Structure 1
Amino acid sequence: MSAEIDIVIVNWNAGDMLRDCVQSALETGGQALGRVIVVDNGSVDHSLDHLPDDPRLLVIETRENLGFGRACNRGASLAQGRYVLFLNPDTRLYPTTLMDVLAYMDSKEGQKVGVCGIRLIEDDGAIQHHTTAFPTSRDIYRVDAFRTDFDHRTDRRVSHVIGAFYFIRRALFEQLGGFDERFFVYFEDLDLSYRVHQAGWSIQYLASTAAYHKGGGTSDAVKARRLSYSLTSRLRYARKHFSWPGNLLVLATTFLIEPPLRLLRAARRRSAREARETLAAYAMLLTRAR
């Protein structure tokens, strides 16, 4: 079998998780694996120092944080296989993960599937509910809007699968121009899934194969900045995909309704830290908005 799959991993201070993720990809890819392309977004934790020595591994050091979408595009530009898998560094592939997904995508049933996601298993063995319907202007700010109402134990067509394991046809990715680099992080995968559907392709969730996903990942230590990025990307998604009344509703919710609700929640929890993080996140958001 010739190389069919290239894997792109964007790293930002992922520590030992990066090594474990890369090792799992190299060990399970078999002959179908072309290259594992690690794009390092200016990490300072020496997470690149302990990667395995393997000719299939290519490391690109950007020396700065390009953002997730832009870094993914940089890595994908070097891909040569028919498929590209965007994989978070806080994941680990199981022995049959790649072969199962490849077999499905090459099957008769998978011919009109542009993107495939799989069952993701958390630390405690729980199945991560990570697929979603596309949000509207009324529910985009609700976390619950990013989960469908099924138990993720059966295969089905979905609107979107999480970017932690995003298996896409390379020709389709290139046709769509890759990730929209205006999204620094968050919503860039949702935006791409929306464009996949617009182009006439479907997205498949496969419960029949799995991988490990820690979740939270490399942004646990920067919660205020993470919140500010999420809010910024939410506003950008609304401007791009909603009508002007919908966009106005998202703006009002984000700036007028959500901040006092977040601060009230912090007060009820007696968490000064949560309140400080909320205020810091909105300060960063306002700085970007100017």
Structure 2
Amino acid sequence: MKTLLTVILNWRTADMTLSAAEVALREMKGIPGALTIVDNDSGDGSYEKLSAAVAERGWDKGEIPVRVIQSGHNGGFGAGNNVGIRAGLPGGDRPDYVYILNSDAFPSVGAIRALYNHLEDNPKTGFTGSYVHGEDGTPHRAAFRFPSIAGEFESSVRFGPVSRLLHRYIVAQPIPETTTRVDWLVGASLMMRQSVLDEVGLFDETFFLYFEETELSHRAAAAGYPSDFVRTSTVMHIGSVSTGMKTWARMPSYWFDSRLYYFTKVHGRGYAALATLSLVFGSILWRLRLLFQRKERADPPHFLRDLIAHTARSIFRHRA
């Protein structure tokens, strides 16, 4: 039977991480493997608390052994998960599948098994992901198309006729009602074939946060390993607990860094420049509409200003 390694990345959410681990252990029963908690250099006593709790509960000696390791450096989401993936199973063996679960995500009954079975039944599929909903049951977007110049314009201009014209490029596609093939999946509940990671590489650690799973999925798809959204796998995701995204006053600089790096790495500097121009142009048109229509701004405060400033700084750094 194929082995599974579950990796949960912790950053200053020790209690919630333990709760997520408890649910994951329940859902891994009958699947050989292990669970690794990676503390991403929290610096708040999380590592010690997690280690003590795992030992106290006997998880380290359980049927599915749990261990806590320290990343030693907070390099972001991808880098932290890479620490757990590289560590492999206890004893150093490589698993057949790797399951990335957010510390604030809780798989429903059968959720992990559904992803596992889908990879077993579909050997050409590289990655599988879950249907995700919030605490109140509200569905979260979890299946996406790859970003593009047209997609950047559509998302920023927010105009029905444009969206209908460019419907094939909308990144946040409607939530699929059945299991289906997609471009990429949200990293809150993502199962990956280890052999694919061995071939295409792990998360690119240049990304601190955001776009890392997008780029990894693009790499896998380019190598012939697509991603599938598995509707029968359901996960409750609280969201933004570690990042604090819900309380952001404005978009952090690392979001702009990740976005630009994604387009540059995948498509080149020229394409990245056009994608940014498309986003800026669409955002300007949207703001012109706001002068005449009563609509919520929708963008985070200072988004357009920060985007233009970040682009200018990036051009200056490149020329220097």
Q: Per the shorter chain, which TM-score range?
A: 0.7 to 0.9
Match for 1:73: what amino acid?
N
Q: Secondary structure at the match of 1:31?
A: coil
Question: What does residue 267 of structure 2 align with?
Answer: 242
CA contact (8 A) 2:143 2:173 kept: yes
Question: What does residue 33 of structure 2 align with?
Answer: 34
Say which of 228, 234, 259 aligns to 1:210.
234
User: What is the correspondence of 1:183-198 to structure 2 with a 5 Å cutoff?
Assistant: 183-198=207-222
Question: What does residue 229 of structure 1 align with?
Answer: 254
> Measured at CA, do residues 280 and 11 of structure 1 come closer, stay the same or move farther in structure 2, by a change above 3 Å?
farther
Q: CA deviation at 1:47?
A: 3.9
Question: What does residue 113 of structure 2 align with?
Answer: 99
Give the distance between the partners of 1:225 and 1:45, measured in 2 at CA: 25
CA-to-aligned-CA distance 1:232-280 (integer Å, 9 cap, x gap): 1000011112244322123446779869989x99xx9999xx6589978
Match for 1:23: what amino acid?
E
Match for 1:236: what amino acid?
Y
Question: What does residue 71 of structure 2 align with?
Answer: 62
Question: What does residue 90 of structure 1 align with?
Answer: 104
Question: What does residue 24 of structure 1 align with?
Answer: 23
CA-to-aligned-CA distance 1:45-72 (integer Å, 9 cap, x gap): 4444154331111212234312111111
> Measured at CA, do residues 47 and 279 of structure 1 come closer, stay the same or move farther in structure 2, by a change above 3 Å?
farther
Question: What does residue 181 of structure 2 align with?
Answer: 157
Give the distance between the partners of 1:282 and 1:224, measured in 2 at CA: 17
CA contact (8 A) 1:228 1:281 kept: no
Structure 1 stretches (4+) deviating beyond 6 angstroms? 254-257, 259-262, 268-271, 276-289
Structure index of larger Rg? 2
CA contact (8 A) 2:211 2:259 kept: yes
CA contact (8 A) 1:219 1:226 kept: no
CA-to-aligned-CA distance 1:11-66 (integer Å, 9 cap, x gap): 11224221111111122211314221111112144444154331111212234312
CA contact (8 A) 1:130 1:162 kept: yes
Give the distance between the partners of 1:242 and 1:277, measured in 2 at CA: 24
Question: What does residue 167 of structure 2 align with?
Answer: none
- 1:130 counterpart = 2:155: no
- 1:6 counterpart = 2:5: yes
CA contact (8 A) 1:121 1:212 kept: yes
> Measured at CA, do residues 133 and 74 of structure 1 come closer, stay the same or move farther in structure 2, by a change above 3 Å?
same
Give the distance between the partners of 1:201 and 1:275, measured in 2 at CA: 38
> Measured at CA, do residues 260 and 22 of structure 1 come closer, stay the same or move farther in structure 2, by a change above 3 Å?
farther
CA contact (8 A) 2:145 2:183 kept: yes
Match for 1:40: what amino acid?
D
Question: What does residue 173 of structure 2 align with?
Answer: 148
Q: CA deviation at 1:148?
A: 0.9
CA contact (8 A) 1:224 1:281 kept: no
Give the distance between the partners of 2:280 and 2:73, measured in 1 at CA: 30
CA contact (8 A) 2:37 2:69 kept: yes
Q: May I ask how many residue pairs the two structures share in their alignment?
A: 281
Give the distance between the partners of 1:186 and 1:138, measured in 2 at CA: 20
Give the distance between the partners of 2:108 and 2:5, measured in 1 at CA: 17
CA-to-aligned-CA distance 1:126-179 (integer Å, 9 cap, x gap): 221221111112334738943113x33211111111111110101111211111
CA contact (8 A) 1:228 1:285 kept: no
Give the distance between the partners of 1:45 and 1:76, measured in 2 at CA: 24
> Measured at CA, do residues 104 and 280 of structure 1 come closer, stay the same or move farther in structure 2, by a change above 3 Å?
closer
Match for 1:13: what amino acid?
R
> Measured at CA, do residues 235 and 115 of structure 1 come closer, stay the same or move farther in structure 2, by a change above 3 Å?
same
Q: Secondary structure at the match of 1:167?
A: strand
Percent identity over paired residues: 26
Give the distance between the partners of 1:278 and 1:15, measured in 2 at CA: 36
Q: CA deviation at 1:120?
A: 1.1
